[in-house]
Chains A and B, each alone.
Chain A
Amino acid sequence: MPTALEQLFIKTKSENRAALIGYLPAGFPTQKESKLIIKAMIDGGVDAIEIGYPYSDPIMDGPVIQAASEQAISNGAGVDEVFDLLKKSVGHGVPSVVMSYWSPIEKYGSAKFAAAVSTAGGSGVITPDLTIEESELWRNQAKNESINRIYVVAPSTSDERLAKVTSECSGFIYAASLMGVTGARTTVSGNASALVDRIRSSSTTSVAVGLGVSNREQASQVASYADGVIVGSAFIKVIQEHGAGRSGLKKTKQLAESLSEGVRSGR
Chain B
Amino acid sequence: MANDKVLQSMESNILGHFGPYGGRFVPEALIAALDELSAAHISAQSDPSFQAELLELHKTYSGRPSILTDAKRFSEYAGGAQILLKREDLNHTGSHKINNVLGQALLTKRMGKKRIIAETGAGQHGVASATAAALFGLECVVYMGEADTKRQSLNVARMKLLGATVVPVTQGSKTLKDAINEAMRDWVTNVETTHYLLGTVAGPHPFPTMVRDFQRIIGVEARQQVLDLTGRLPDAVLACVGGGSNAIGIFHPFIDDKSVRLIGLEAGGSGIETGLHAATISGGTPGVLHGTRSYVLQDKDGQTIESHSISAGLDYPGVGPEHAYLNDIGRAEYRPVTDDQAMYAFSLLCKSEGIIPAIETAHALAGALEIGNELGKEAILLINLSGRGDKDVQTAAEYFGMPL
Interface residues of A (CB under 8 A from B): 55-60, 62, 66, 70, 73, 78-79, 102-108, 128-131, 133-134, 151-158, 161, 165, 176, 179-181
> With A104-B303, A181-B188, A181-B189 in contact, is A157–B32 under 8 Å at CB?
yes
Residues of B within 8 A of A (CB-CB), count = 36
In Å, the complex CA distance between A62 and B181 comes to: 11
Q: Which among B29, B31, B303 is the interface contact of A56 at CB below 8 angstroms? A: B303
Assess the A55–B26 pair: CB atoms within 8 A: no
Q: Which among B15, B31, B188 is the interface contact of A59 at CB below 8 angstroms? A: B188
Assess the B302–A152 pair: CB atoms within 8 A: no
In Å, the complex CA distance between A152 and B296 comes to: 25
Q: Which 8 A-B pairs have the closest CB atoms?
A: A107-B302, A104-B302, A154-B29, A78-B301, A59-B184, A103-B302, A180-B189, A56-B303
> With A133-B15, A133-B23 in contact, is A107–B29 under 8 Å at CB?
no
Q: Name the distance in Å between A97's Cβ and chain B's nearest Cβ.
A: 18
Q: Does B291 have its Cβ within 8 Å of any Cβ on chain A? A: yes
Interface residues of B (CB under 8 A from A): 15, 23-33, 171-172, 177, 181, 184-185, 188-192, 287-291, 293, 296, 298, 300-304
Instruction: Chain B residues near A129: list those with CB within 8 A.
Output: 25-27, 291
Would you call the interface of chain B mostly helix, strand, loop, or mixed? Answer: mixed
Q: Which among A57, A73, A176 is the interface contact of B290 at CB below 8 angstroms? A: A57
Task: Return the chain B residue nearest A54 by Cβ.
Answer: B303
In Å, the complex CA distance between A70 and B78 comes to: 46
In Å, the complex CA distance between A55 and B304 comes to: 8
Assess the B300–A107 pair: CB atoms within 8 A: yes
Q: Which among A107, A134, A179 is the interface contact of B24 at CB below 8 angstroms? A: A134
> With A107-B298, A107-B300, A133-B15 in contact, is A59–B32 under 8 Å at CB?
no
A-B contact pairs, 5 of them (CB 8 A): A62-B185, A70-B172, A78-B301, A104-B302, A156-B191
Task: Return the chain B residue nearest A81 by Cβ.
Answer: B301
Known: A107-B298, A107-B301, A157-B31. 11 other contacts (CB 8 A): A57-B172, A59-B290, A60-B185, A103-B302, A103-B303, A129-B25, A152-B28, A158-B32, A161-B31, A181-B185, A181-B188
Task: Return the chain A residue nearest B288 by Cβ.
Answer: A103
Instruction: Chain B residues near A56: list those with CB within 8 A.
Output: 172, 303-304
